[in-house]
Amino acid sequence: MKVLAILYNGFKAAKAEPRLLGTVENELGLRAYLESQGHEYIVTSSKEGPDSYGLTDVCSQTDILITTPFHPGYLTKELMAKAKNLKVCVTAGVGSDHVDLNAAVDRKIQVLEVSGSNVVSVAEQVMMSILLLVRNFVPAHEQAISGQWQVSDIARNAFDLEGKVVGTLGAGRIGHRVLQRLVPFNTKELLYFDYKALPEEAEKAVGARRVEDLKEFVSQCDVVTVNAPLHEGTKGLINKDLLQHFKPGAWLVNTARGAICNADDVAAAVKSGQLRGYAGDVWNVQPAPADHPWRSMRNPLGGGNGMTPHYSGTTLDAQQRYAEGTKKILQNYFENKPQDPGNVIVGVGKYESASYGQR
């Protein structure tokens, strides 16, 4: 079979650090395995423009496509129509919104991902992002490295997380882990908004309360963290209209998908102080252009920007897990064994995951 992987270029870092498995250079560690099984393995970073997918030619003959959310090779309906042999798309990581899932259902192309492979990595990033916003870390760090020392300029916008209301929009694998990690911080209350309730035991263990109306949910939170997949029901969900229902001066953390937020509306809310800050690692376009509004936005007191490139789910620990998980998915496929049900987003001709919207 022909297996095509779209990965990001790691350049010098990938040559020096072989554990950077999710790079073009280190090929998810799959070449020896795939070639020993008689398969052809093509790896490229090309994902944009007329040559996208290296490609259209290669893509038309590909049986199995591997992509990662960190360097999303958008598999559109049009591209899928050209990929006549394509049977399986594997996401090395979590989040398969870069594949047109409805088109995959129609064309009976399976979409599998390594569910759970980086959920701890992201939950830890969410904790870090909440703390760096609430405690006003970034301007403080900027003072430290630029030779300044003016405590009042930082402290005037720094708070404790203790006593605040924190809510997660999406309480699946990551959202639940975030709630678990928030418990020792003695928040005033933990809330969640999800069309699926947490199992009773889990809800009790974290002491979280489910709020069923989104506007009511955001209006009660000092901090909102977004942990839902990107799909028709979440695209642009956090926009000017919804932001008006947030508490004035709330903090927003989004490590789920950039396009869940309207980029201009969020930047305007940070600039006006309506949001005290926004942090995350996911962008509506990746790589983000140099003039993306989220790169330069600051609140009126000079802080409130906790953005990074998309890396929370691609720590070296996570890369090992999603590379191993990708191999396992391929082995199951080649050996005609069933896949772990949690990894199946789209099965043959139907959605198997309930996470990509209520259907």
Whether 286 is catalytic is yes
Residue corresponding to tokens 């882990």: 177
Spot the catalytic one: 71, 98, 110, 118: 118
Q: How many other C-beta atoms can be found within 10 angstroms of the C-beta atom of residue 80?
A: 20
**Pairing state of beta strands 40-44 and 2-6?**
parallel
Spot the catalytic one: 231, 276, 310, 321: 310
Q: Which lies closer to ligand NAD via its Cβ, residue 165 or residue 202? A: 202
Contact 55, 30 (CB under 8 A): no
Q: Which lies closer to ligand NAD via its Cβ, residue 146 or residue 358? A: 358
Q: Which lies closer to ligand NAD via its Cβ, residue 139 or residue 175? A: 175
Rounded least distance, CB 352 to ligand NAD, Å:
12
Residue nearest to ligand NAD (CB): 172
The CA-based angle 272-248-280, given to 5 degrees, is 70
Whether 143 is catalytic is no
Residue corresponding to tokens 């997949």: 229
* Burial status of residue 210 (CB atoms within 10 A of its CB: 0-12, 13-18, 19 or more): middle
Whether 310 is catalytic is yes
Spot the catalytic one: 257, 262, 274, 276: 257
Chain residues binding ligand NAD by CB under 6 A are: 94-95, 118-119, 122, 169-175, 193-196, 227-230, 233-234, 255-257, 281-282, 310, 312-313, 355, 357
Rounded least distance, CB 340 to ligand NAD, Å:
13
Residue 194 CA to residue 175 CA, distance in Å, equals: 10
**Pairing state of beta strands 223-226 and 250-254?**
parallel
Q: Which lies closer to ligand NAD via its Cβ, residue 157 or residue 255? A: 255
Q: Which lies closer to ligand NAD via its Cβ, residue 47 or residue 71? A: 71
Q: How many other C-beta atoms can be found within 10 angstroms of the C-beta atom of residue 156?
A: 10
Rounded least distance, CB 250 to ligand NAD, Å:
18
Helix (H, G, I), strand (E, B) or coil at 231: coil
Spot the catalytic one: 286, 299, 305, 319: 286
Rounded least distance, CB 2 to ligand NAD, Å:
28
Contact 231, 356 (CB under 8 A): yes
Rounded least distance, CB 286 to ligand NAD, Å:
10
Contact 233, 207 (CB under 8 A): no
Catalytic positions are 118, 257, 286, 310
